[in-house]
Amino acid sequence: MRKPNLKMADFCLDNGGRFNPIYNELNYFIGVCQNNLGDFKSAIDSFKAVIDVDPSNLPARMKLGIALHNYGMWDTAENLYKSILKAHPQYADIHYNLGLSYLGRGKIDEAVESFKNAIKINPNYLQPRIKLIVVQIYKGELERAIVELKSLSEKYPRFADIFYYLGIAHASYNQFDEAIENLKKAIEINPSYKDARVKLGTLYCYTGKYQDGINEFEEACKIDPLDEDLEMMTKTVKTAINSYDTKSVKFSEIVSDLFHKGITDFVPEFNRGVQIIPDVSEMIFIIMSVSEEDRTLCEMLIPFVKEHIMENKDYPDLHNSLGALYLKLNKFEEAEACFRKAVELNPKYMKAHFNLFYTLKMLKKFEEALKEGEFIIENGMKYPDVYSYCAEVCLMLSLYDKAIEYVKKALEINGKYSLAHFIAAQVYERLGNKKQAKHYINECINSNPSGFLNAKAKEMLKRLEEE
């Protein structure tokens, strides 16, 4: 497991109050940090404190399930996930986490079913795919697992876990050269991959490359200096090698223990601490509400989000979060690239589709924006802002009838939606119908629009009255 992101944790704890002075939000972020730093019991308390104040807080309930899982309370986590899925059956992450909890209790068939459910919802969800393959490894279906992992490695060449499990599969098949190469690749991608270093060090020693093995064990100890078992193992190996007594170490037994375990013995490795990977998303949501002038937090967060993406390139929520930050900074080209990556990874990710739609509008790529807007409406995002933005795009494309159609749909949902009235006024002005233009611009002003839109509306009304 990779090291906790200490910089992100410090950032949350130091700046949580800037996002929202209400302690409920701060408890949420502190819980995220506590989980990722390994203090699972405290994380449980923090998330429960949020839920006590707001029992319907879904993100806090989801994170509580992860903390319960990490603390070994798999039955409690399982019940929590099931209750969430009753109301939200399309949450792929919950199906995946439920699968992990099933594994914690040795329910292999149920776990496999949960992982498959996650993949049905999001076919590009990599983690449950990997877990399904790992189950194959520990059921002895090695050839099939190796073929599937190799296929994934071609599609995701920078995902360390794939090469880690390829190494395990090859070692379990007594293909030690291939195992060593894949473990080295995992470490090249993620130098802090402790488990990969331990297994690589063991294989080096087993194949007689003792100094290389010691080097890997020492690097693993640096990554996790509190792992007493690893420290003792490293000292034992070094002592044996220095005294030329390598037979006493019995590397064949160590290799057998590490690579030839049954599925039940492997449960602890399945259930090693689960980090809350999309821990920046909710932070960014709150940052979006700060004033336009205060963009310091966005600038500060971008490097942290990029760091998460380097380690989790196939997590669409992270790409969407980075795009949201760029959008806040008016860096529309960068935002577009991020949102496109998010929807490529998960074509059903409507939040990212909406963000891409809005960004394309801001970039004046109106034809592309209209296609994206029509797509999200077809997929159920039938809201006044979506219809109004589509109307605005149609206005810019001189599709006036279509623009009016979208305006009417927006006003059917919310008759006082200021932006819809403003766009209708613009359309009718373009069509030369000043009477209708005045009607809609007055409706806009009477609906108490925001300061900027109010000023634009009054400016337009003055122009119409002077003509």
* Amino acid letter, residue 368: E
**Rounded-to-integer distance, Cα 120 and Cα 114, Å:** 10
Terminal C-alpha separation, the chain: 69
For residue 183, what are its two tokens? 């473990």
Q: Which domains does the chain have, with CATH numbers?
A: 6-270 (1.25.40.10), 279-375 (1.25.40.10), 382-467 (1.25.40.10)
Residue pair 179/167 in contact (Cβ under 8 Å)? The answer is yes
Write out the two tokens for 164: 């880690």
pLDDT, residue 33, reads: 73
In the predicted structure, residue 358 carries a pLDDT above the cut 90: yes
Q: Which residue in the block uniquely carries the two structure tokens 């393959």? A: 133
Q: How many residues does the chain have?
A: 467
Cβ–Cβ < 8 Å for 4, 26: no
Burial 90-128, CB ≥16 within 10 A → b, else e:
ebbbbbbbbbbbbbbeebbebbbebbebbbebbebbbbb
Under DSSP, the state recorded for 290 is S
Q: Which residues of 156-167 are buried (b: 16+ CB within 10 A; e: fewer)?
A: beebbbbbbbbb
Q: How far apart are CA 251 and CA 217, in angstroms?
A: 14
Q: Is the dihedral of CA 108, 109, 114, 118 positive or negative?
A: positive
Least confident of 40-44, 103-107, 363-367, 441-445: 103-107
Backbone angles phi, psi at 449, to 5 degrees: -70, 170
Residue 8 and residue 270: Cα distance in Å, rounded?
25
Predicted confidence at residue 396, as pLDDT, reads 96
Task: Give me the helix-helix angle, 126-138 and 160-172, nearest 10°.
Answer: 10
Question: What mean pLDDT do residues 6-31 have?
Answer: 55
pLDDT (average), residues 37-55: 87
User: For position 402, what pLDDT does the model report?
Assistant: 96
Q: Which tokens hold the place of 447? A: 């609906």
Residue 203 — very low, low, confident or very high, per pLDDT cuts 50/70/90?
confident
The predicted model gives 192-209 an average pLDDT of 87
pLDDT-based confidence at residue 250 (cuts at 50, 70, 90): low
Of 180-184, 211-215, 346-350, the range with the lowest mean pLDDT is 346-350
pLDDT of residue 290: 44
pLDDT digits (tens, 9 = 90+) for 374-398: 999 998 888 888 999 999 999 999 9
Report the distance separating Cα 139 and Cα 367, nearest Å: 52
Structure tokens at 212: 């290389």
State what percent of residues in the chain have pLDDT above 70.
Answer: 82
Lowest mean pLDDT: which of 64-78, 82-96, 213-227, 246-260?
A: 246-260
Asked if the model's pLDDT at residue 67 lies above 50, the reply is: yes
In terms of pLDDT, which residue wins out, 190 or 279? 190
